[in-house]
Structure formats: structure tokens, C-alpha cells
Structure 1
Amino acid sequence: MTRGIIPGLTHRESMVVAPRHAVPHVTPDWAGFADMPPVLATAMMVGFIENTCILALRPHLPPGQCSLGIHVDVSHIAPTPVGATITAQVELIAVEGRRLEFLVSCRNEIGLIGEGRHRRAIIDTDRFMERLAQSRS
């Protein structure tokens, strides 16, 4: 296994919720979101948590490897308005070969807004892209 990727690895990231992170702006392709309240979208919270996991792993992966999300089990339990700061905290709790499991949480200035578990897999990027290209043929 790659150096430093062991249970107990933690990482934290913070960001300010921008209008583009709010439900009505997730994508113009899905009209159902357009008239929703302007709060942090669940999809954006999950993406932010995933990004925090990616950044936790990046210093420990050699060139040519990255990690892909393979499972998300995260609750979104409280709304967060545009302009608020959120912080994601991730902790690697299990390593099984190339599969990794994180305990994750996200908070705003008031308290917990989401928590759960997230699994990722370490991949060889070139090999993955070759297989992807073959699956399109």
C-alpha cells in the first residue's frame, strides 16, 4: 500500500457557500431545482466532502494514481445559507487493499449539517482510462 495511507489519516477543509453551491443553481438542466430555497445543495455538500478526501490522499499517492468515489452514505441534516462557512472533516477508518473507507462530517458555524461514510478506490489513472476507452468501443 502507498506510504501514509493508514487508518487515522485525517484532513479538514473549509469554504464559503457561494450562490453556485445553492440548490437553485445546481444545474439548469434540471428544472425541479429552479424554485427551491437558496441553501447549500446536498450534491454540493457531498462533492465538498469528496474533495476533502481527495486532498487528504493526494500527498500519499504516487504520480499516475488517484482515488475515485465508489460509495456515499451521508445524511444532510441541516440547511446552510449562501455566505456561510462550512468545514468538512474526514478520517480514514479502514484500508482494504485499494479500497478506503472514511468517516466524514460537515459543519457550519451553528453545528453539524451532514455526516456519514464515504468509500473510495485507488486507481492507476492510465489503466482506468484505457479500460474506459475500451468500454466505449
Structure 2
Amino acid sequence: MDARDFIQVGTAAERTLVVPPERTVGHFVPGMPMVYATPMMILEMEMASGDAIRGRLQPGWVTVGTEVNVRHLAAALVGATVRTTSKVIAVERRVIRFEVAAFEGERKLGEGQHARGLINVAKFNERLGAT
């Protein structure tokens, strides 16, 4: 399967999240500030990337995250509305590369790149011995 046959550079998606307490660093690490946690921001970036291409995948195929290179630039408090964007910047045979960012209003909270690998679910599960 070659992703270049059905995913185009420029394909994009965005997600919006109101930061809940359970997505803050203080939720995971007692004594830390109750601000949007870096891993949670990256999760939204990965989810937006998946959203951008999900409708273009063949039945039985999905993508999984394979690379993350993200800078967390600014904090966001509980209750902040965070908009996360993702845009396809390169398509290789089975790797799709994205430019990702997160914003609170016009203020950039994070930016970077993310890659997802194209896999056949049945073959992947068989190889891992999963059901």
C-alpha cells in the first residue's frame, strides 16, 4: 500500500479542547501547576493528524504515531480553549508527515512535526499475536 495514492500534501484538520483538570501536569504530578500538560498537547496533535487522513484510508488500514518533535512554547490554564491544527507536509510510501501546532486564541502554545505510519490492522495484530 502506498499512501501517495490517496493522501495529498495540504490535507488538514483541527480539534478544539477546553482544558480539563485531568489534562494538566498538576493532575499527574502532585505539587506541579494546573496547566495543560505537554503529553496531553501532543496527544491532541496526534489526534488531529489522524483526523486529517482517517477518511482517506482504505478499509482495514489505520495509521499509528511513529515520530514526535514538538516544542511546548506557553502554558494554558484549566478552562482555556485550545485549538490544535495538523497539516500533511509530506507523503512517503507508508509514512505521512505533519506540521502540528496548538493555540489559545492567537497565542501559539506549541509547534512541531509528527509522523504516522500506515499499517494493515489484521497483519499488524497477527504479527503481534494480538486478537
Match for 1:39 among 17, 35, 44?
35
Deviations 1:83-127 (A, max 9, x none): 000011111010110101101111012500000100110100111
Contact 1:24 1:35 in 2 (8 A): yes
Does residue 1:93 correspond to 2:89, yes or no? yes
Q: Give 1:112's aligned residue.
A: 108
Contact 1:68 1:122 in 2 (8 A): yes
Contact 1:23 1:36 in 2 (8 A): yes
Q: What is the distance in 2 between the residues matched to 1:128 and 1:24?
A: 36
| Gap regions ≥5 residues in structure 2 | none
Q: Give 1:8's aligned residue.
A: 10
Q: What is the distance in 1 between the residues matched to 2:6 and 2:65?
A: 19
Q: Give 2:74's aligned residue.
A: 78
Runs of 4+ in structure 1 over 6 Å off: none
SS of the equivalent of 1:80 reads coil
Does residue 1:64 correspond to 2:60, yes or no? yes
Alignment size in residue pairs: 128
For normalisation by structure 1, the TM-score amounts to 0.88
Deviations 1:10-67 (A, max 9, x none): 11111110111111223xxxxxx11110000000000010001111111101221110
For normalisation by structure 2, the TM-score amounts to 0.92
Match for 2:26 among 24, 27, 48?
24
RMSD of the TM alignment (CA)? Answer: 1.4
